Amino acid sequence: MKLLKSVLLAFSLALSLGSFSTAAVACEDGRTCFGPAEAIDIVLGHIAEGMKSVENGENGPTVNVHVKAALRASKEINVSDRIDVKRAKANGHLKKARSAFKKSDMQGGQAHLGMAEKAFTTFKKMI
Tell me the CATH number at 54. Answer: 1.20.120.660
38 inside domain: yes
Task: Check residue 57 and give its pLDDT.
Answer: 87
Contact 97, 49 (CB under 8 A): no
2 inside domain: no
Least confident of 15-24, 35-44, 99-108: 15-24
Task: Check residue 18 and give its pLDDT.
Answer: 63
* 24-31: average pLDDT: 55
Task: Check residue 7 and give its pLDDT.
Answer: 83
pLDDT over 70 at 27, yes or no? no
pLDDT in tens, 41-90: 999 999 999 999 999 988 888 899 999 999 999 988 888 888 889 999 99
DSSP letter (8 states) at residue 27: -
Instruction: Compute the C-alpha angle 88/91/96, nearest 5°.
Output: 130
Q: In 3D, which of 110, 114, 125, 123 has the Cα closest to residue 53?
A: 110
91 inside domain: yes
Task: Check residue 36 and give its pLDDT.
Answer: 83
Domain count within the chain: 1
* 23-39: average pLDDT: 66
The parent domain of residue 106 ranges over 34-126
- Mean pLDDT, the chain, rounded, equals 85
DSSP letter (8 states) at residue 80: -
Alpha carbon distance 23, 82 (integer Å): 28
28 inside domain: no
Contact 66, 107 (CB under 8 A): no
109 inside domain: yes
Contact 116, 98 (CB under 8 A): no
Query: How many CB atoms lie under 10 A from the CB of residue 55?
Result: 10
